Amino acid sequence: EPEVTQTPSHQVTQMGQEVILRCVPISNHLYFYWYRQILGQKVEFLVSFYNNEISEKSEIFDDQFSVERPDGSNFTLKIRSTKLEDSAMYFCASSEDSHQETQYFGPGTRLLVL
């Protein structure tokens, strides 16, 4: 069964460093998303991406964040200068070509900023 994959599974970084989280969405999906979950809190929407551009972003997704689809398979989330409060589990998700469809989530990347 096709699934969303994410790398790395865990990342530890120093405050102020840049990190890139990688995702490979399900191959025939056209909508891509990033969410995050701070330990013990709700899963929060960050950004959605369609047709090579951001279709919606939340107030969390400030100038420190960017997303990119550098090739036909990868979808990345970059945090330019990490802060302690960026420590969280980051989930990538994808869905088929129309909205109102199921979003399938990857296993997540646990980011720890020291």
Beta bridge partners, 44, equal 36
Q: Does residue 42 bind another protein (CB under 8 A)?
A: yes
- Whole-number Å distance between alpha carbons of 1 and 3: 6
Q: Does residue 56 bind another protein (CB under 8 A)?
A: yes
Stretch of 12-20, 22-30, 51-59, 76-84 contacting another protein, by CB under 8 A = 51-59
Alpha helices per DSSP H over the chain: none
Nearer to another protein, 17 or 54 (CB): 54
The three-state secondary structure class of 64 is coil
The three-state secondary structure class of 93 is strand
Stretch of 19-27, 62-70, 77-85, 87-95 contacting another protein, by CB under 8 A = 87-95
Q: Quick one: which of 30, 44, 60, 66 contacts another protein (CB under 8 A)?
A: 44
Q: Does residue 11 bind another protein (CB under 8 A)?
A: no
Q: Does residue 104 bind another protein (CB under 8 A)?
A: yes
Cis peptide before 8 (omega within 30 of 0): yes
Tokens of 72: 């036909």
Size of the site for another protein (CB under 8 A): 27
